Amino acid sequence: MNSLIIEGSPKTPNINFDGDEGSFLISGRSIPENSLDFYKPIIEWLDTYINEPKEATIVNIRLEYFNTSSSKCLLDVFKKLEVIFKRGQKVGINWYYEADDEDMLEAGEDYQSIIKIPFTMIEEE
Amino acid sequence: MNFDLNQWYSEKIDEDAIFDYMGRIEDEDVTDILHSIEQILKDRNEPPKLFKKVFNVLVELVQNLHHHGEVPSELDVSYEKFGVLILRDEGNQYRICAGNFIKIDGLRLIRDRIDQINTLSSTETQSLYRIILENDQFSEKGGGGLGMVDIARKSGNNMEYQFFQYNPNFLFLAIDVII
């Protein structure tokens, strides 16, 4: 499957979803005014991916900031992947946060409490 | 007597104000405002934890202005989104003041929402955030009511607010967040 690559901007994250490897990365900052517009093609790409997913899918979230408008969209991303996890396929989410950034850690824990996919919280210096 | 926006604004801009903006809040203005404030905070060498908290809260407040900042006709401007943002360094705390016009019929909704959030403990704020996040009913604007809860959660303080009567149809809402 094709990859989805979207270059980051001051308000939108880098997206690098490698469909062949099942390795997904969202990094940078996600603070657009209208997150629904930004995440729409990502959700559409995932709709295709979940029909023919890799045996293992790893998602790396390395966000510096995200706004509340993006938080729902991120949940939508995770919900799409939860579909294949519930089908018995391997999915994992690595949630990176900077040391001392309790807010980002808590944000990861929010998703962890809602989504059934295993989360790994990774503190970075 | 009706509210005098310019007088209110000038009284807010004292020596503690390290950033102030009054005017149009379109997409590009949001970008410029956030960029300017980020630079100011960088230049002040704030610890990353405080820096991120202040910036996160600012993002939500500025985007609130973008989504909800109405323009009464008396303002006589050609754009449709108006807001005020002031960042103050009060020595041991930052105070962010965000102001915008709202239609009078929106008063109760906003006031009740802030009052409700202000009564919550930090654990309750976290629970409310998760409930709203999990709830699929998000507005077209995408926020789904999370913004205010997020501001309260990140700042760890109650939001202070004031409403001023501007004309028969509009109020000016000023919200202060302390970090």
Tell me what ipTM this predicted complex has: 0.91
> Does residue B28 sit within a domain?
yes
Distance from CA of B51 to the nearest CA of A (A): 10
Which residues of chain A are within 8 Å of residue B141 when distances are taken between CB atoms? Answer: 34, 69
Q: Is residue A82 part of a domain?
A: yes
For B105-128, how does the pLDDT look when each residue is reduced to its tens digit (9 = 90+)? 989 989 999 999 999 999 999 999
Closest by Cβ to B143, choosing from A64, A68, A114:
A68
CATH number at residue A91: 3.30.750
Q: Taking every pair of C-alpha atoms in chain B, what is the biggest distance, in angstroms?
A: 45
- Whether B132 maps to a domain, the answer reads no
Are B60 and A68 in contact (CB < 8 Å)? yes
Residue B129, in any domain of the structure: no
DSSP of A31-46? --S-HHHHHHHHHHHH
Number of domains in chain A: 1
Q: Which of A33, A101, A106 sits opposite B63 (nearest CB)?
A: A33
Chain A partners within 8 Å of B48 (Cβ): 98, 100-101
* CATH code of residue B165: 3.30.565.10
Residue ranges making up the domain that contains A91: 4-15+27-124
- pLDDT of residue B59 exceeding 80: yes
Indicate whether A22 belongs to any domain. Answer: no
What is the DSSP code string of B7-61? HHHHHH-STTEEEEEEEE--HHHHHHHHHHHHHHHHHTT--HHHHHHHHHHHHHH
Q: Predicted confidence band at B74 (pLDDT cuts at 50, 70, 90)?
A: confident
Cα-Cα-Cα-Cα torsion A96, A97, A98, A99, nearest 10 degrees, comes to: -110
Percentage of chain B exceeding pLDDT 90: 79
Residue B55 lies in a domain: yes
Q: Indicate the pairing of strand A14-18 with strand A23-30.
A: antiparallel
Q: For chain A, say whether B42 makes contact (Cβ under 8 Å).
A: no
Q: Which domain, by its residues, includes B71?
A: 5-103+157-178
* Number of domains within chain B: 1
Q: Is residue A21 part of a domain?
A: no
Model confidence pLDDT, tens digit, residues A62-97:
999 999 989 999 999 999 999 999 999 999 999 999
- Measured CA to CA, the distance from residue B153 to residue B49 in angstroms comes to 14
B51 near A CB under 8 A: no
Measured between alpha carbons, how far is B63 from B35 in angstroms, rounded to an integer?
Answer: 14
pLDDT in the model for residue B136: 62
